[in-house]
Copies of this chain bind each other. A is one copy, B any other.
Amino acid sequence: MRIGWIGTGVMGASMCGHILAKGFPVTLHSRTRAKTEPLVARGARWADSPGAVADASDVVFTMLGFPAEVRSVYLGDGLGGGGIATAARAGQILVDMSTSEPALAQAIAEAASTRGAFAVDAPVSGGDIGAREARLSIMIGGDEATVLALEPLWSAMGKTFVRQGGPGAGQHTKMVNQILIATGMIGVCEALLYGHAAGLDAERVLQSVASGAAGSWSLSNYGPRILAGNFEPGFFVEHFIKDMSIALDEARRLGLSLPGLALAQQLYQSVRALGYGRKGTHALQLALAAMSGVDWQKRA
């Protein structure tokens, strides 16, 4: 099985590396060629365009930043320039692992289907560490037999991989994941801000609350970093805003009112407005503290 890989950012480079390590032949392309060099040094072959990757591959993976890039790579530029879905070969499999729009995933699957090809949406959670350690959770939407055939590749990159349904179901599941994280993070940051203002010892508070009904992955993993004033990503605020915007667009399309998610998205707009777009998602603490006149990094 000849593998193609498009997009070798922080996540993509690790994920592609795991596939190389399993011995699959890999052809790759990325916007920034320098980022592919470590993978080329390990045996991957460079190609000059997404189309050239697809020409050389039976299964093409993409790991891109924003839905606009996904649309362009898969469906072309709208001016007649082809995309890898619109130009797919019969039997070819295209897997988008970016977090993107469910409706776009469905449109890509339809475009692939008219060529006799298969498109699968497979966004992930677990962040850069999960990618590096091959411990991602992969949320998969697509044709059942196709998803099954890719099992050696899912298991190369992830610890949990679940087919959630047809095209778009992977993206929808990722939205569920992001809604949970977004609103939960508000609770973590407000609780730590309250504890600080009330004069509590935060480490001792975590002893009381982290392992009970108030406990969460976010509290256990981001709580200590927030208290230490370490806001390095992790996961970029600006990517998280993209995800929440997709979720809110979908919610509107589905006729849903999600006030918690809407609040989270607005608060994260503030995080970006304050200059923390390239910090980690837990930088919400800085914006929430600023709203109350607290300089979190200079607190006593």
Range for the number of chain A residues in contact with chain B: 35 or more
Q: Does A165 contact B (CB under 8 A)?
A: yes
Q: Does A111 contact B (CB under 8 A)?
A: no
**In the assembled complex, which residues on chain B have CB atoms less than 8 Å from the CB atom of A194?**
172, 175-176, 179, 247, 250-251, 254, 256, 258
**In the assembled complex, which residues on chain B have CB atoms less than 8 Å from the CB atom of A213?**
125-127, 177, 181, 217-218, 221
Contact present for A259 and B250 (CB under 8 Å)? no
Q: Does A80 contact B (CB under 8 A)?
A: no
**In the assembled complex, which residues on chain B have CB atoms less than 8 Å from the CB atom of A273?**
none
Give the CA-CA distance A164 to B206 in the complex, in Å: 10
Task: Say whether, besides A164-B205, A205-B164, A211-B160, A187 and B198 are in contact (CB < 8 Å).
Answer: no
**In the assembled complex, which residues on chain B have CB atoms less than 8 Å from the CB atom of A209?**
125, 137, 139, 173, 176-177, 180
Q: Does A208 contact B (CB under 8 A)?
A: yes
A contact residues vs B (CB 8 Å cutoff): 102, 125-127, 130, 137, 139, 160, 162-165, 169, 172-173, 175-184, 186-188, 190-195, 197-201, 204-205, 207-209, 211-219, 221, 247, 250-251, 254-261, 263, 267, 288, 291-293
Contact present for A263 and B263 (CB under 8 Å)? yes
Give the CA-CA distance A217 to B215 in the complex, in Å: 6
Q: Lowest 10 CB-CB distances: which A-B pairs, in order? A: A183-B187, A216-B216, A186-B260, A180-B214, A172-B198, A197-B254, A179-B191, A177-B214, A215-B217, A177-B209
A-B contact pairs, 24 of them (CB 8 A): A125-B209, A126-B212, A137-B208, A162-B204, A165-B199, A175-B194, A176-B195, A176-B209, A177-B212, A177-B213, A179-B187, A183-B186, A183-B190, A183-B260, A187-B187, A194-B247, A194-B250, A194-B258, A197-B256, A198-B250, A198-B254, A213-B217, A259-B263, A263-B263
**In the assembled complex, which residues on chain B have CB atoms less than 8 Å from the CB atom of A257?**
288, 291-292
Closest to A136 in B: B212
Name the residue in A173, A175, A258, A260 with the highest tally of chain B Cβ atoms < 10 Å from its Cβ.
A260
Name the residue in A198, A207, A218, A219 with the highest tally of chain B Cβ atoms < 10 Å from its Cβ.
A198
Closest to A141 in B: B200
Contact present for A214 and B183 (CB under 8 Å)? no
Closest to A135 in B: B212
**In the assembled complex, which residues on chain B have CB atoms less than 8 Å from the CB atom of A259?**
186, 190, 263, 267, 291
